[in-house]
Amino acid sequence: MSIWTLTFAVTAILLVGIAVDFGGRVAAQQQAADAARQSARAGGQPIDRAAAMQGRGGSTTPEQAAEAARTHLAGYEDVTGTVSVVDPTTIEVTTHANHETTFLRLIGITQLTATSSATSRVVTVQEGTEQ
Judge if 79 and 108 occupy the same domain.
yes
pLDDT in tens, 2-12: 888 989 988 88
Judge if 67 and 18 occupy the same domain.
no
Judge if 72 and 31 occupy the same domain.
no
Domain-embedded: residue 52: no
Reduced to 3 states, what is the DSSP secondary structure of residue 49?
helix
Q: Give the chain's end-to-end CA distance (angstroms, integer).
A: 76
Judge if 104 and 75 occupy the same domain.
yes
- Please give the residue range of the domain that contains residue 30: 1-43
Domain-embedded: residue 3: yes
Judge if 73 and 39 occupy the same domain.
no
Domain-embedded: residue 49: no
Domain-embedded: residue 17: yes
Domain-embedded: residue 79: yes
pLDDT over 90 for what percent of the chain?
43
Please give the tally of structural domains in the chain.
Answer: 2
What angle do the packed helices 62-73 and 2-43 form, to 10 degrees? Answer: 140
Judge if 32 and 75 occupy the same domain.
no
pLDDT in tens, 81-107: 999 988 878 889 999 999 999 888 888
Domain-embedded: residue 51: no
- The residue among 81, 80, 82, 114 whose CA lies nearest residue 100 is 114
Across 10-23, average pLDDT:
88
pLDDT at 64: 86
Judge if 38 and 66 occupy the same domain.
no
Report the predicted TM-score, pTM, of the whole model to 2 decimal places. 0.78
Domain-embedded: residue 95: yes
Domain-embedded: residue 19: yes
pLDDT at 62: 80
Residue 72 pLDDT class (50, 70, 90 cuts): very high
pLDDT at 100: 93
